[in-house]
Amino acid sequence: MDTADLRALHRLMVVARRLDEEAIAMQRQGALPGYAPAKGQEAAQVGSAAALDLSRDFAFPGYRDLGAAVAMGVDLVGYMASHHNVWHGGLYDAKASRLAPFNAVVAGPVTHAVGWALGAKLDDTGGAAITYFGDGASSEGDVHEAMNFAGVYRLPVVFFCQNNGWAISVPTREQVAGGSVAARAAGYGIEGHRVDGNDVLAVFEATRAALDRARDGGGPTVIEAMTYRMGPHSTSDDPGRYRTLAEEQEWSERDPLAVAARQLSAEDVAAAEEHAAAVVREVREGLLALEARPVEELFSFTYREPTKALLEQQRVWEESLDA
Amino acid sequence: MPELSLQQALNLALQHACEDDDRVLVFGQDVGTLGGVFRVTDGLREKFGERRVFDTPLAESAIMGTAVGLAMHGWRPVPEIQFDGFSYPAVDQIVNQVARMHFRSRGALPMPITLRLPSFGGIRAPEHHGESLEALFAHVPGLKVVSPSTPSEGYHLLRQAIADPDPVIFMEPKSRYWHRESFDPTEPVPAVPPGTSRVAREGEHATLIAWGAMVSRCLQVAELAAEDGVELEVVDLRWLKPIDVDGLAASVAKTRRAVVVHEAPLTAGLGAEVSALVTERCFADLRAPVQRVTGFDVPYPSGALEDEYLPSVDRILLAIQTTLEYRRG
């Protein structure tokens, strides 16, 4: 997206929201083993990912960044296959999609983004990396190591923190000393900005500015998008045990979809819903049609050049099938 | 024929790897200006510039994490972690990311990373500078592990590791850095792909199996034993994952007795895996249980106790005596 186009951003957010709701429904129907709902964080995810240049940038998501996958045009059945327990990392082509396979180690990929950004700088492609992490992950040592490393080498990377108020059951005030992840940037000598994470245009503009700065040799930026996880941490979590309905109510009035919709016509909103419904139908059908991968694939991807021992284990396994 | 130390041979291997493939990057703590604390990267920054040979902040996890990102971008990272004992902070990245990225991405994101790790004991070093981590890394699916025993082995195995399309943990026996050998690195040698061992000395009465610094100790033992008419075969395992089972079986089929020697503690050390493999493959040939001569199940000790901890010539000779005298029931 070259310029902030609210209608297009809203359309993407609605797809993310409706797909998110569908995933929760499928989990309750027993069709999806588990899921980490992203409801409430669509503006942060869509606004930032839409600012990327997919011809040269690369994104490193966490496990609650469906909106980024939607905005980047990733094959959503392939993306959801990870939640569907078909393949850790999904069935889409991570390299071609410019979206790394997500994994459950929070903050692990933050250092990968720094390495990727270093690679881009060495190759002089003008590419930048964005890494998604939460307020909880910001406590991990890897985030410090990554920001310090990127600051030392002035690398083209955007540290995009979605501060959604809760790291499972622990609120930000008990998680982030000093109260702000963006404020930490100053200590690394890099730019740090807080942005309203429920305002998709504000997020887009802040991310676009950070990416432009990165490409121009201005180094890394920390963006702290203040948002809220409207749903549970995962489909097996019970937020009622740690937060109040009043707080949830307060944030629901700032629902990023509603914020955007207020600036659009009723026709635009209706068209977005219609489009999202079609996407959800397609993804649902695709997911239900997904079959378990052939068991041989257990052996296919561990190594580029498998060890003899592994090939032997595969041979014995195949023999056991015939027995 | 030039005479090279292991440190020089590894330095040359890095130099040639950088010359042959401009995607190779050398980085880590103090590898640039200083040339590494063991001087293995000496002069490389002058030759290849700071884009390809650079110092990193003191951050092991970030060193491995950035290696992952660089590999995803198409580079061939050869990071160094300064000492074995300081690789623990990077174990999360090595195990959860480096080793799994190819699997997770279904082959879209290969990880041709070679982690150089000065390893093992024997130099009277401070605490955390004498660890043997091969069993930990060999246990991780997706990794390959190798350790050279001599300068020429170091040269060729490092070239092989860097050329390998999978992540390789390259364990440099730091007590052998200054050991010298005459060899011509430009002379072609048979390839040493993962899973090839070598017979360092031929013998017929028992097989000693070792890697890294323990190979030279086993050769020393074999010299002494030969004076008493006992001819020991010494197998330099080289690759600790994958292990050359065929090579071990060929040797043990001939000698019918095996003794594994390693610096790491006994329990769940790699010797257990070697012993199991040899027993599975050579049960009928074996005339005695596979013996293990190892460090003890204690933290690596201070220099004053190092010689007691490391497998000594006497302890290895005793194990050989045990295996030669073994009688069933």
3-state DSSP helix/strand/coil % of chain A, to nearest 5:
50, 10, 40
Q: Which B residues in the span 120-149 are in contact with A, Cβ-Cβ below 8 Å?
A: 141-142, 144
Interface contact flag, B142 A302, Cβ < 8 Å: yes
Asked if the model's pLDDT at residue A2 lies above 90, the reply is no
pLDDT tens digit string along B9-55? 999 999 999 999 999 999 999 999 999 999 999 999 999 999 999 99
Distances (CA, A) of B170 to A68, A160, B157: 37, 35, 9
At position A81, the amino acid (one-letter code) is: A
Domain annotation for chain A: domains and CATH numbers: 3-292 (3.40.50.970), 295-323 (no CATH)
Cα dihedral across residues B153, B156, B162, B164: positive or negative: negative
β-pairing, A157-163 with A191-196?
unpaired
Contact B114, B70 (CB under 8 A): no
pLDDT tens digit string along A204-253? 999 999 999 999 999 999 999 999 999 999 999 999 999 999 999 999 99
Q: Side-chain half-sphere of B7: how many Cα atoms within 13 Å?
A: 16
Contact B69, A119 (CB under 8 A): yes
3-state secondary structure of A191: strand
Please give the average per-residue pLDDT across A292-316, as a whole number: 94
Structure tokens at B10: 């590894």
Interface contact flag, B104 A103, Cβ < 8 Å: yes
What is the C-alpha to C-alpha distance for residues B240 and B146, in angstroms, rounded to an integer? 5
Interface contact flag, B73 A309, Cβ < 8 Å: no
Please give the average per-residue pLDDT across B256-270, as a whole number: 98
Interface contact flag, B194 A120, Cβ < 8 Å: no
At position B80, the amino acid (one-letter code) is: E
| Cβ within 8 Å of residue A10, ≥6 positions away | A200, A257, A260, A261, A264, A268, A269, A272
Structure tokens at A254: 């700032």
Global pTM reads: 0.96
Cα dihedral across residues B245, B91, B79, A108: positive or negative: positive
Please give the average per-residue pLDDT across B195-200, as a whole number: 98
* A89 neighbourhood in chain B, CB within 8 Å: 103-106
| Chain B: residue whose CA lies nearest to A78 | B105
pLDDT at B329: 67
- A64 has catalytic annotation: no
The alpha carbon of B118 is separated from its chain's Cα centroid by a whole number of angstroms, namely 9
The neighbour count for residue B326, using CB atoms within 10 Å, is 13
Cα dihedral across residues A161, A164, A166, A167: positive or negative: negative
| Cβ within 8 Å of residue A171, ≥6 positions away | A165, A242, A243
Closest by CA to A179, choosing from A190, A189, A194, is A194
Say whether residue B241 is in contact with chain A using an 8 A CB cutoff.
Answer: yes
| Chain A: residue whose CA lies nearest to B53 | A122
**Average pLDDT along chain B:** 97
Structure tokens at A95: 């390299």
What is the C-alpha to C-alpha distance for residues B322 and A97, in angstroms, rounded to an integer? 61
* A129 neighbourhood in chain B, CB within 8 Å: 69
Tally A–B CB contacts below 8 A.
152
Asked if the model's pLDDT at residue B238 lies above 80, the reply is yes
pLDDT at A305: 97
A256 torsion bin: left (phi>0), alpha (psi -120 to 50), beta (else): alpha
Distance from CA of A262 to the nearest CA of B (A): 40
- A79 has catalytic annotation: no
Nearest to B65 among A94, A112, A304 (CB): A112
pLDDT at A50: 98
Interface contact flag, A302 B141, Cβ < 8 Å: yes
Beta bridge partners of residue B210, listed in sequence order: B236
pLDDT at B21: 98
Domain annotation for chain B: domains and CATH numbers: 3-182 (3.40.50.970), 198-325 (3.40.50.920)
**Catalytic annotation, pick one of B16, B73, B128, B129:** B129
